[in-house]
Amino acid sequence: MDPERIVTHSDFDGLVSAAICSNVTGCGRIIFTGPSSIARAEISIDLRDIVCDLPYPLECGMWFDHHAGNREELRLRGIDIESIPGSFSEERSCARVIHNYYISGGENLPAYFDNTVAEADTIDSFDYQSIEQWREETPGKLVDMSIKASFPDARIRTKYYSLLVSLIRDMPLEDVISEDEVENYIAEYRREEGKIIELIDKCHLFYQEDLKREIIIVDVTGLRRKPRIIRNLAYLVHPSALASLLLVPIFRAGVKTNDFSVSMSLSMNMAGTEHGKDISEIMRSLNIGDGHPGAAAGIVRCRSKAEREKKKEEVLRRIWELWSGMD
* Interaction of residue 13 with Mn ion, rule CB under 5 A: yes
CB of 113 to Mn ion, least distance (A): 16
**266 three-state secondary structure:** strand
Distance spanning both ends of the chain, measured CA to CA? 52
CB of 182 to Mn ion, least distance (A): 21
* Interaction of residue 121 with Mn ion, rule CB under 5 A: no
Identity at 320, one-letter amino acid code: W
30 has which bridge partners? 6
Identity of the residue, 53 or 210, whose beta carbon is nearer to Mn ion in the bound complex: 53
Instruction: Give the ranges where the chain is alpha helix by DSSP (H).
Output: 12-25, 35-39, 68-76, 94-104, 113-125, 131-135, 139-147, 154-170, 173-176, 180-203, 234-237, 279-286, 305-325
Q: Point out which span in 118-126, 195-203, 217-225, 298-306 binds Mn ion (CB under 5 A).
A: 118-126
* Interaction of residue 49 with Mn ion, rule CB under 5 A: no
Chain position whose Cβ is nearest to Mn ion: 13
User: Whose CA is closest to 299, among 236, 255, 233, 246?
Assistant: 246
Q: Point out which span in 90-98, 133-141, 180-188, 277-285 binds Mn ion (CB under 5 A).
A: 90-98
State the Cα angle at 150 between 14 and 229, rounded to 5°: 90
Q: Point out which span in 5-13, 216-224, 229-237, 293-301 binds Mn ion (CB under 5 A).
A: 5-13
DSSP state of 81: G
User: Quick one: which of 7, 52, 94, 237 contacts Mn ion (CB under 5 A)?
Assistant: 94
Identity of the residue, 125 or 130, whose beta carbon is nearer to Mn ion in the bound complex: 125
Interactions with Mn ion, residue window 132-191 (CB under 5 A)? none
CB of 275 to Mn ion, least distance (A): 26
Identity of the residue, 62 or 302, whose beta carbon is nearer to Mn ion in the bound complex: 62
* Interaction of residue 91 with Mn ion, rule CB under 5 A: no
User: Whose CA is closest to 230, among 269, 206, 275, 199?
Assistant: 199
Interactions with Mn ion, residue window 244-283 (CB under 5 A)? none
Q: Point out which span in 51-59, 191-199, 250-258, 317-325 binds Mn ion (CB under 5 A).
A: 51-59
Identity of the residue, 53 or 214, whose beta carbon is nearer to Mn ion in the bound complex: 53
Asked if 93 and 87 touch (Cβ cutoff 8 Å), the reply is no
User: Whose CA is closest to 262, among 220, 228, 293, 222?
Assistant: 220
- Number of chain residues interacting with Mn ion (CB under 5 A): 4
Length of the chain: 327
* Interaction of residue 53 with Mn ion, rule CB under 5 A: yes
Asked if 213 and 198 touch (Cβ cutoff 8 Å), the reply is no
CB of 12 to Mn ion, least distance (A): 8
Q: How many CB atoms lie within 10 A of CB 109?
A: 15
Identity of the residue, 53 or 144, whose beta carbon is nearer to Mn ion in the bound complex: 53
CB of 55 to Mn ion, least distance (A): 12
* Interaction of residue 124 with Mn ion, rule CB under 5 A: yes
- CA dist., res. 28 & res. 37, Å (int): 21
CB of 191 to Mn ion, least distance (A): 27
Binding site for Mn ion (CB under 5 A): 13, 53, 94, 124
